[in-house]
Structure 1
Amino acid sequence: MNKNTSKTVLIIGANSDVAKQCILQYVRKDFFILAASRNTLSLEKFVQENSLHSQVSVLHFDSVEFDSHQKFYDELPAKPHIVVYAAGFLVENEKALKDFKGVQQMMMVNYMGAVSILNIIATDETNKNLERIIGLSSLSGVRGRKSNFVYGSTKAAFITYLAGLRQELASRNIKVNALVIGYIRTKINEGLQLNESLIMEPDYVAKFIVNAGNSFTIVPNFKWKMIYWILKMLPESLVAKLP
């Protein structure tokens, strides 16, 4: 594959389980991948194991090092056609209520870092390639619930940002999508007690990202779509009774 002739996807937070599946699926569609992560060693190992060196370039990116974001973007080997923000950080609610450092990290990775780099990308009108920006959010951000409202608040903020960004970029015909995702069998959920019948596999979720259409909100899996709409429509008195 020639990165000079293929469309380019920039995946930020590319070391996540879902992002790695996105890499594999984008490669099958003949994209060149800029895989950005804080943990480049793990990502390099993944690229090597899957023989992807000619199709994937691994780059160092830290969502919370805001001052480095402009330089990172300016030095990209190719300006992206598609951008996927997949970086995420989770602290369980009970701990988050008592540990503001963990909360701060969630805010910086899940929201502030996203806004920082996506603002840079979105306002670069010299990049005529840009077609789409996709942000990975969560059902936790749909309504505030006592079991996860601290984490959920960072995801809700991200959804609101993406909704406004979609309007901002509409005149340039750039699509913006928010993936509103339920439970996934990933590293971030290890150790949590989750309903097994609702857990999705990373490759399944990746298909919805790689094949994103025109709809702003994309909710993978029919069960989770039902839960999404129930959460949206429930009166506050009933939401308050949810875990």
Structure 2
Amino acid sequence: MDQNTNKTVLILGANSDVAKESIKQYIKKGFSIMAASRNTDSLRNFVTENHFDSKVAILHFDSADFVSHQKFYDELLVKPHIVVYAAGFLVDNEKALNDFKGAQQMMMVNYMGAVSILNIIATDRSNKDLERIIGLSSLSGVRGRKSNFVYGSTKAAFTTYLAGLRQELASRNIKVNALVIGYIRTKINEGLQLNESLIMEPDYVATFIVNAGDSFTIVPNFKWKMIYFILKILPESLVAKLP
């Protein structure tokens, strides 16, 4: 624990269930946390309930408010050692197809907002402490499928961005990881008809964030790893038959 006592993690989109579990696990490892979200009231309740007041700084951050990102970063009292982009937004594909506002919001939160803030963080060469950037992506972005291709396209773009960012930062010995995640029991998936045997718990997924290693693509859970590799190699004629 001692080796992490002077290290700080910035979690963007910290109000998600997975992000909150990650906060708990990072604190156990000795890190201090900057938890950033639009919903600071919910974060404040979470911090108070878990007695994390001395370990967590709560910040307001709006992924879709691109103009505010530079000011947000400049005003951080401490520049982070680790950055986790956990912000996410989802509307069902039918709504995304018929109402561009939903599609646009997914693009802004899942991809454009990530690129905006992570570009600012990654190009700050004055922060010699930056060690790692972790982005939460999705198996929905592995192949385009008719049930969720609008959402999936935002995650595919994010994964591609992270892959290039990894190459960009390699010379500075900054690691970049993409968590390619399947179904999780979280608020974003409430009401969806999902295969129960494939649903992962937020604390389980959080362990893969907190213990991220050198590999770029991290797929939690053996079943999801198999699905990931199958999706990668399936011919288009078979992908077209998937829901």
Q: When the two structures are superposed, what TM-score results if normalisation uses the length of structure 1?
A: 0.98
Please list, as runs of the form range in 1=range in 2, the aligned pairs for 1:161-240 lying within 5 A after superposition.
161-240=161-240
| Residue 156 (structure 1) aligns with | 156
Query: What CA RMSD, in Å, does the superposition of the two structures yield over aligned residues?
Result: 1.3
Runs of 4+ in structure 1 deviating by more than 4 angstroms, as ranges, are: none
Deviations 1:27-53 (A, max 9, x none): 000000000000000000000000000
Deviations 1:123-148 (A, max 9, x none): 00000000000000000000000000
- Report the alpha carbon displacement of residue 94 of structure 1 after superposing the two structures with TM: 1.0
| Residue 42 (structure 1) aligns with | 42
Query: Which amino acid in 2 is paired with 1:176?
Result: V
| Residue 27 (structure 1) aligns with | 27
Measure, in 2, the Cα distance between the counterparts of 1:99 and 1:224.
31
Measure, in 1, the Cα distance between the counterparts of 2:79 and 2:38.
20
Please list, as runs of the form range in 1=range in 2, the aligned pairs for 1:32-111 lying within 5 A after superposition.
32-111=32-111
- Report the alpha carbon displacement of residue 95 of structure 1 after superposing the two structures with TM: 1.0
Query: Which amino acid in 2 is paired with 1:167?
Result: Q
What is the percent sequence identity of the aligned residues? 85
Instruction: Indicate the SS of the match to 2:194.
Output: coil
Measure, in 1, the Cα distance between the counterparts of 2:130 and 2:97.
39
Instruction: Indicate the SS of the match to 1:34.
Output: strand
Instruction: Indicate the SS of the match to 2:34.
Output: strand
- Report the alpha carbon displacement of residue 167 of structure 1 after superposing the two structures with TM: 0.2
Which consecutive residues of structure 2, in runs of 5 or more, have no partner in the other structure? Answer: none
Deviations 1:122-181 (A, max 9, x none): 000000000000000000000000000000000000000000000000000000000000
- Report the alpha carbon displacement of residue 5 of structure 1 after superposing the two structures with TM: 5.4
| Residue 145 (structure 1) aligns with | 145
Deviations 1:209-229 (A, max 9, x none): 000000000000000000000
Measure, in 1, the Cα distance between the counterparts of 2:178 and 2:226.
17
Measure, in 1, the Cα distance between the counterparts of 2:49 and 2:16.
16
Aligned residues: 242
